Amino acid sequence: MIGNFVYFLARGIMAECARKGEKMERIERERISGQEPVEAGMADGQEPEKTEMAGGQEPESAEMAGGQEPEMAEMAGGQEPESAEMAGGQEMDGQAYDRMRLEIDSLSRNEEFARVVVAVFMSRMNPTLEEIDDVKTAASEAVTNAVIHGYRQKPGIIYIEAEIHGQMFTLTVKDKGVGIGNLKKAMEPMYTSDETGERSGMGFSFMEAFMDHLEVESQLGKGTTVRMKKKIGG
């Protein structure tokens, strides 16, 4: 049984890596064809900088309301999140509107839990399996970045917010860690501040590849906010 589990796990990992590779090749072809990279950068002491990709529109700001219990989801590691709130059944501009907020400890084992919760929440949009996998991958990269780079494996809280507005799904992952000094450099493919050699430096590139819109704000000593959008069913 263990052998079968390892076999299917390996197949799943290989499939996801293949999907990542295909999307990264598409990004590289677009870059070579003449598209300009997005400008980003921040000097010490300046206001948080905003970087927008593949969309150009400012994300709608939203405070997450709650009170209802989240749908049940299996969690890796057996640790309960600090809080999870969901609100449902609302309408805005004649379109379905829903939102969710989750707080988890900055632990690597909570990355899988975050993926599952986000997938369960967006399931009410009737997404395809590919759309679910895209959002789960982006969520995983954002949470892992917060654990490794934001808090540098030290205790902290990661704040995850998700919003549904019609066919648009918005995912925000925020930490209050060390922040990013050079945002432009940090968003370059293959760049990583992880000295262990375990990180590929492709976190932001994967987020951009799997989502329609990526925006990053960061300030030294105050943390980083990653906001992503994806149209579902479009």
Buried (b) or exposed (e) across 170-195, using 16+ Cβ within 10 A?
A: bbbbbbbbbbbbbbbebbebebbeee
Is 145 catalytic? The answer is yes
Is 141 catalytic? The answer is yes
Report the C-alpha gap between 24 and 58 in whole angstroms: 25
Report the C-alpha gap between 15 and 72 in whole angstroms: 27
Of the listed 52, 103, 112, 199, which one is catalytic? Answer: 199
Of the listed 111, 131, 141, 215, which one is catalytic? Answer: 141
Report the C-alpha gap between 29 and 75 in whole angstroms: 38
Of the listed 101, 145, 161, 227, which one is catalytic? Answer: 145
Residues belonging to the active site = 141, 145, 199
